[in-house]
Amino acid sequence: MQLDLFKKSLNNNGVPFSEKEVMKNHTTFKIGGKADIFVSPKDEEQLIFTLKSAKETSVPAFILGNGSNLLVSDEGIAGAVIDMTSLCGIKVISNEIISGAGESLRKLCLAARDNSLSGLEFAYGIPGTVGGAMYMNAGAYGGEMADVTVSAVCLDKDYNRFEIPIEKMELSYRNSVFKTAGYIVLSVRFRLKKGDKDEINEVMKDIFKRRTDKQPLDFPSAGSTFKRPVGNYAGTLIEKAGLKGKSVGGAMVSEKHAGFIINYDNATAKDVKSLIKKVKDTVYEQSGINLAEEVIFVGR
């Protein structure tokens, strides 16, 4: 890993970056140590240049959206973290929307509503970016990204730009070809249905209220900690196991929704991982079901 050579390359080409960036400031869990280099490319050209420079200097590169599904190690991240949030922007063409990967889902949903387009209501309140939502095939309240996506523009492993249709995205429950093949999403095209703006707004308000009522949104978390087991619900299994309110250090199983592990008192990544293990072990002992993490572990 030739960090100095990588930094020099970024400097010479005007790519913004900082060193020793504290990652807890860039995740919804508010947990995580320092990244060696935190790069904020301003456009696709700078992103591709950054990725190629990282490869040439053997610097590992991690793509970051809103940090909403991550647990970053207390020891931080080796190499470069590449912040995608500048690759944003929304374009509406009739009943289709093209969105940059770094755009927030919230803004995408609001743009759809403001243009009387229905189909994205389910995503309102999911605290991620468009790219992150495609990576995980994010979903809620009976909808998922696969329902409204037409195509995406991505980078392959050699950083060549190409367009991929929905049929080749392999979108399934919390999975996609972006995750399995390592493609990097640049922008996504969605196809929606014409609807009534007020009705769309009412559905969005209702979904947001249901989120607020049921989920511990007043504490930092990474959303649902575990994937939904076939024919069951992680939160139900955890609650039945008597784990609501159980804690390790500053990490706690939410008393509001057992499917969430929250950072209620300056939790460390070590606290969260220990609590995840405790939950998995207890649920398995009591039900024979092995819970799988939805949260992604990143870093040293």
**Amino acid 121: pLDDT:** 97
| DSSP category for residue 228 | P
Decide: 3 and 10 in contact? Cβ < 8 Å. no
The per-residue pLDDT for range 21-47, each reduced to its tens digit, is 999 999 999 999 999 999 999 999 999
The per-residue pLDDT for range 82-134, each reduced to its tens digit, is 999 999 999 999 999 999 999 999 999 999 999 999 999 999 999 999 999 99
- The catalytically annotated residue of 151, 187, 224, 254 is 224
d(CA 156, CA 17): 24
300 is catalytic: no
224 is catalytic: yes
Residue 139: partners with Cβ closer than 8 Å, 6 or more residues away: 122, 145, 146, 173
Domain 3-83 has CATH 3.30.43.10: yes
Domain 234-298, CATH = 3.90.78.10
* Domain 90-214 and domain 234-298 have a common topology: no
- The catalytically annotated residue of 174, 187, 189, 254 is 174
Mean pLDDT of 225-232: 94
- Which has the closest alpha carbon to 48: 157, 158, 132, 159? 159
161 is catalytic: no
Decide: 138 and 146 in contact? Cβ < 8 Å. no
For the chain, the domains span 3-83, 90-214, 234-298
Q: Which CATH architecture has domain 90-214?
A: 2-Layer Sandwich (3.30)
- Which has the closest alpha carbon to 258: 267, 247, 250, 266? 247
- The catalytically annotated residue of 103, 121, 144, 294 is 294
The per-residue pLDDT for range 130-168, each reduced to its tens digit, is 999 999 999 988 899 999 999 999 999 999 999 999 999
pTM: 0.92
The per-residue pLDDT for range 174-205, each reduced to its tens digit, is 899 999 999 999 999 999 999 999 999 999 99
